[in-house]
């Protein structure tokens, strides 16, 4: 998807710039990063695309580097419970998305590519 610099893209960019888990310092971000590193090895960026607070857990949809998607489920009740992770191929994942979410994903990929060039 080609980015056009629309207002919506700019809003997503601002939101996503603050969601790179590689740069985050809080406990929840560290927990998610540990799960991602165990699954993917070293990574340069991990942007939270979506966060769904459920009754007993938080579910995060994350763009890992520029080409992988991870869904991480973390219990809010039992902190010793091992987080669950599902991984998706970017192309397969994109097919099921709404137009708006495809724009958000395209902005995140753009940010990740910029991150990888700098790093």
Contacts of 86 (CB under 8 A, 6+ apart): 70, 71
Could you tell me if residue 98 is inside a domain? yes
Could you tell me if residue 70 is inside a domain? yes
Alpha-carbon Rg for the chain, nearest whole angstrom, is 14
Residue 27, beta-bridge partner list: none
- The pLDDT tens digits of the residues spanning 30-39 come to 999 999 999 9
- The pLDDT tens digits of the residues spanning 66-108 come to 999 999 999 989 888 889 999 999 998 998 899 999 999 999 9
Structural domains counted in the chain: 1
pTM here is: 0.91
Residue 60 belongs to domain spanning: 7-118
Share of the chain above pLDDT 70, in %: 99
Token pair 């888990």 is at which residue? 21
Mean confidence (pLDDT) of the chain: 92
Residues 16-23, mean pLDDT to the nearest whole number: 92
Give yes or no for a contact between 31 and 77, defined as CB atoms under 8 angstroms apart.
no
pLDDT of residue 119 exceeding 70, the answer is no
């Amino acid at each position: 998807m080609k980015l056009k610099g629309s207002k919506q893209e700019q809003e997503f960019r601002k939101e996503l710039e603050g969601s790179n888990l590689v740069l985050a310092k809080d406990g929840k971000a560290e927990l998610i990063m540990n799960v991602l590193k165990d699954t993917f090895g070293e990574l340069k960026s991990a942007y939270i695309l979506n966060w769904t607070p459920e009754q007993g857990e938080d579910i995060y949809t994350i763009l890992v580097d520029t080409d992988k998607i991870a869904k991480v489920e973390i219990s809010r009740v039992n902190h010793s419970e091992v987080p669950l992770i599902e991984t998706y191929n970017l192309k397969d994942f994109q097919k099921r998305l709404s137009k708006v979410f495809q724009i958000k994903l395209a902005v995140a990929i753009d940010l990740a590519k910029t991150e990888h060039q700098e790093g």
